[in-house]
Structure 1
Amino acid sequence: MIKLAGSITAALSLIGVLALAGLATPATAAPAPPESEVNTTGEPPGSANPARGFVDGHTHLMSYEAFGGMLLCGKPFDPDGIDHALVDCPDHFPNGQAAWFENFTRTGSPTGTHDPVGWPTFRSWPASDSLTHQQTYHRWVERAWRGGLRVLVNHLVANRQLCEIYPLKRNACGEMASLRLQAQRTFEMQDFVDARAGGPGKGWFRVVRSAAEARQVIAAGKLAVILGVETSEPFGCRQTLGVPHCTRAQIDRGLDEMHALGVRTMFVCHKYDNALCGVRFDSGTQGVIVNLGNFLSTGRFWSARTCTGPEHDNTIDPAGVLPPEIARLFPRGIGLPVYPAAPHCNTRGLTSLGSYMIEGMMRRGMLVDIDHMSVKAADQALDLLEARNYPGVVSSHSWLDPSYLGRIYRLGGMVTARSHHAEPYAASWRESLPLRQQTGRPGYGFGMDANGLGALPPVRPGNAANPVTYPFTSFDGAVTLERQRTGERVWDVNVDGVAHYGLIPDWVEDIRLVAGDGIVQDLAAGAEAYLRTWEAAESRIP
């Protein structure tokens, strides 16, 4: 025993010496944490002048922190790994029966079930029609970039009233605090991607503050991320019974703060009439919730008249059966008003404070997004922009009357149309061609609105006759894409539609099958078109 012990001691001493000399067999490394696949081969090329690639003018990477932080489930990244990032909301367990908001926005009924387990099975989500589950996990965004995306506008989003309506929350409902937090999370995601790539500045995800910086990023073959803001009460500019809660000084301070954060595009109003402008209505079951929010925010339901001109807002649908969680919020004896015959137009337009905000954005070279404005407000806003010959105007996801598109293009603005399945999206592209040819505006874009409480493109009906065939190549032929796998789940755009952000290249390939190479090349000119609008706006800074 003594001899054996001595031998062991000698052996351990020898191993120690060898270890110091670097000759011992190293200990087994800890297994790598689980991660989603990207399922691409090849590297995205850089392009300078012109920038080549797709532009998503409207997505919400960090909206999981909005609305109190418990309405949307999961995160785009987590330092502890995918099994911590892609998890369902606590109130969705054990079978989704209590997820009344998910069920109501998905099916129109507060009742329903789903499998809440995310990683690694993903039996029920993400899905194109599921509005509360994470759609922009960082590896899915990476796949979109590798497949051709070069500009992504990440809209920081907030809605105080929706936050107050939803009973669960871990964040305060103040809109400006939510915007600051989401901006912070965006820069944290940049740092996270950098760390995975080897250090600061080495990652593919780059937040940019100028068009020139965006060109440098795209020239390096990376993704240029622009910060935007889509909120219902910017700078506290709500109103109660027509009385504004903000001043011009507040607007100036708010614009200065947002610009310092890196925000370069903003909405003036979003879902509720505010002290700046009247809104374009929501329809359907979601419209019922939003109209109630308008009442709780302003003291009034939407005010509509029957339109007399060709332009109109969305139709306000009669209220159906409301979930008890919503019905109980109506004051006793008060229900949704009865509206006149459609087509409906909001009686409220752009206020003097709204005009002041647009003028302040022009002075700072920011892009004015006129989506969500009522037709009355959009018409007045375009009058103001045209009077200044200001080119920095965008429609980022088609939430406006299409008759205004010509005025946007003539100013030098940019349209990134709301995404649908391939056939209606291709139809909107064809409709845009004459206008863009007349005004010399090549390049088209999309507003995916991922994580924005709106559905992503569903499966194209009848696609069995000409399905997307895997593998396929990116628009420039540089990257080959297989079906995307995360954990045990494999997604196929022919079966799942755009279930998550990583299927954007698959959706573009589906569009190519429907409409030909011309639309894909026009989409590939979208990044350049967006940058030219941004550069023209920056050139107007005093």
Structure 2
Amino acid sequence: MSDIRPLSRSALAPLALTLVALLLAVLAAPLQPATAAATAGRVPEPGTGATGAPFKGTTPDGEVRGYVDAHTHLMAYEAFGGRLFCGKPFDPAGVQAALRDCFDHAGNGALAWFENFTRHGTPLGTHDPVGWPTFKDWPAWDSRTHQQAYHTWLERSWRAGQRVLVNHLVANRQICEIYPIKSNTCDEMDIVRLEARRMTEMQDYIDRLNGGPGKGWFRIVRGAAEARKVIEDGKLAVVLGVEASEPFGCRQAGGRPGCTREQIDRGLDEMKDLGVSSMFLCHKFDNALCGVRFDSGTTGVIVNLGNFLGTGRFWQVEPCTGTEHDNAIQPSGALGDLLRGPLSGLGQAGLTLPLYPSPPHCNVHGLSELGEYALKGLIDRNMIVEIDHMSVKAADRTLAILEEHDYSGVVSSHSWMDGNYARRLYRLGGMITGYGHAADQFVREWRANKEHRAPGRAFGYGYGLDANGMGALPPPRAGNDGNRLQYPFTSPVDPGVTLDRQRTGLRTWDVNTEGVANYGLVPDWIADMRTLAGPEITEDLARGAEVYLQMWRRAETGTG
């Protein structure tokens, strides 16, 4: 049974805003352009702006070729209560039904307080709520609550050379309980099951558009060999992962775990049955399995509050014992330095305050006994371990256990690991993929990670776009007036494919001015990286699929 909590006074203001928004939405519904479009009949699916036949087969040395997104959330619209996120990656009724704004954004979006806060840093703001066909204000690289990965946008990336997509089934009970409008449960594992079902439905839908069962370009895979065959056929291998804050109900409240070893075993077996191959043990909030790597800045203050609501405690820090550290959190400094001793004593007694000494900060919580059990359960089931979001204390112990087992199945998928662990991860045979930063920042991070590559190991790189993950997509590259990407351009990964500016409905996007406004501009972003770093980076990205499959195969066979 869900732990239902009364709304705090701080939650009443957003609730009042939302109730007013609902009233305005009902009054404005007859005037909504999307409503008129839905009743006018189905329209054809948008094109991709890509021409040429996607590459099939292997290179002369027998390797597959293609780039990897190791971290995205196609079905996030079902998470967080099912009403926080606007738009879907597909809809049986077509694009005009899928790409519609949330009904509580009606009018001018002034009451879309969560969108306004995550995009502008204030609950006040406006946007044009009309999606299809005008898309005046969304999708955009900095809009967190609007659909970023419609299936034809993803298709454009596949046509340009993408061959692996790791789709994380995502859930977060705390965000769900805070947001007052809901159509879905807040139970994280129920949402994981629902999103897995939606993934199969999306595969079936794309099959229907391409001639029938098995004929689509989007194929959910359960193992490295199946993925290799899919890629050799020139299609996109879709891997299922899980990024939940309380997997298997493993929350932590008042210092007590909310799950048992038996629950963990049942949960892991169920995930395998669902086709899940990659998994996080903790995400955003400390849980019964591990402590988290903190968020910093204003976001960290908010997430820390969520940690308190979920666990009964604010994050706790301790002196770091090595060069690795977690992200710095606020408020910290003089008063926290003065009270360091008393704050530590309070924490040991189970009482915490959101006040911290000067950084570096390290989470006191590492990998718990239950966390070690769950980690070994992933190894026993040949699943890929996602190390991002773990505190350095948890990550260090996780890497030590993986080293004891000589286990290669480990990924840092979106730049949420201390970079000092890169060398250990590469020695194991794991893989790093960088977060979707601006092209110049992504290039810098790629170069830094490549310095740590392991001798004798094949090197390939990828990205974790985190599309629909409540994070920003790559913005336009600053200072690009003198070396803009020129349209049309040849895919830097598949020279048989040419891409022009992406157009959906009445809107045309240009990566030079709008960044990665949606998933369809990923090829443009990669081509922009080639402008900065030459063919070396695109060759490393093109080897991403092969290196990911080699890592996955070693995990399946238990070979290091």
Give the 5 Å matches for 1:36-47: 36-47=46-57
Structure 1 partner of 2:494:
476
Mapped pair 1:360 → 2:370: no
Tell me the distance in 1 between the aligned counterparts of 2:314 and 2:454.
41
Deviations 1:245-284 (A, max 9, x none): 1010100000000001000000010011000000001122
Deviation at 1:473, TM superposition (A): 1.0
- 2:480 aligned to 463, 480, 487, which one? 463
| Greater mean deviation of Cα atoms: 361-370 or 100-109 | 100-109
Counterpart amino acid of residue 260 in structure 1? D
Contact persistence 1:409–1:439 (CA under 8 A): no
Mapped pair 1:102 → 2:111: no
Structure 1 runs (4+) greater than 6 angstroms displaced: none
Question: 3-state DSSP class of the match of 2:463?
Answer: strand
Mapped pair 1:250 → 2:263: yes
- 1:520 aligned to 520, 530, 538, which one? 538
Structure 1 vs Structure 2: percent identity of aligned residues? 63
- 2:84 aligned to 36, 46, 71, which one? 71
Distance 1:503 1:312, change over 3 A: same
Deviation at 1:525, TM superposition (A): 0.2
Counterpart amino acid of residue 128 in structure 2? D
Mapped pair 1:191 → 2:209: no
Mapped pair 1:345 → 2:345: no
Counterpart amino acid of residue 296 in structure 2? S
Give the 5 Å matches for 1:291-440: 291-318=304-331, 337-436=354-453, 438=455, 440=457
Tell me the distance in 1 between the aligned counterparts of 2:73 and 2:461.
20
Unpaired segments ≥5 residues, structure 1: 1-29, 320-333
Unpaired segments ≥5 residues, structure 2: 1-39, 333-350
Deviation at 1:35, TM superposition (A): 2.6
Question: 3-state DSSP class of the match of 1:227?
Answer: strand
Distance 1:191 1:459, change over 3 A: same
Counterpart amino acid of residue 191 in structure 1? D
| Greater mean deviation of Cα atoms: 309-318 or 395-404 | 309-318
Deviation at 1:314, TM superposition (A): 0.9
Deviations 1:215-234 (A, max 9, x none): 11001000000000000000
Paired positions, count: 498
Structure showing greater Rg: 1
Deviation at 1:336, TM superposition (A): 6.2
Contact persistence 2:79–2:191 (CA under 8 A): yes
Tell me the distance in 2 between the aligned counterparts of 1:535 and 1:376.
28
Tell me the distance in 1 between the aligned counterparts of 2:42 and 2:128.
27
Structure 2 partner of 1:286:
299
Deviation at 1:306, TM superposition (A): 4.2
Mapped pair 1:489 → 2:507: yes
Tell me the distance in 1 between the aligned counterparts of 2:314 and 2:68.
36
Tell me the distance in 1 between the aligned counterparts of 2:84 and 2:157.
25
Contact persistence 1:305–1:340 (CA under 8 A): no
Deviation at 1:317, TM superposition (A): 2.7
Tell me the distance in 2 between the aligned counterparts of 1:460 and 1:433.
22
Tell me the distance in 2 between the aligned counterparts of 1:415 and 1:512.
19
CA RMSD of superposed structures (Å): 1.5
Structure 2 partner of 1:22:
none
Question: 3-state DSSP class of the match of 2:127?
Answer: coil
Tell me the distance in 2 between the aligned counterparts of 1:368 and 1:535.
14
Mapped pair 1:177 → 2:208: no
Mapped pair 1:539 → 2:557: yes
Give the 5 Å matches for 1:192-207: 192-207=205-220
Contact persistence 2:423–2:454 (CA under 8 A): no
Structure 2 partner of 1:116:
129
Deviation at 1:32, TM superposition (A): 6.4
Contact persistence 1:276–1:355 (CA under 8 A): yes
Give the 5 Å matches for 1:227-246: 227-246=240-259
Deviation at 1:338, TM superposition (A): 1.2
Tell me the distance in 2 between the aligned counterparts of 1:439 and 1:130.
42
| Greater mean deviation of Cα atoms: 302-311 or 192-201 | 302-311
Contact persistence 1:235–1:246 (CA under 8 A): yes
Structure 2 partner of 1:499:
517
Counterpart amino acid of residue 116 in structure 1? P
Tell me the distance in 1 between the aligned counterparts of 2:432 and 2:523.
20
TM superposition score normalised by structure 2: 0.87
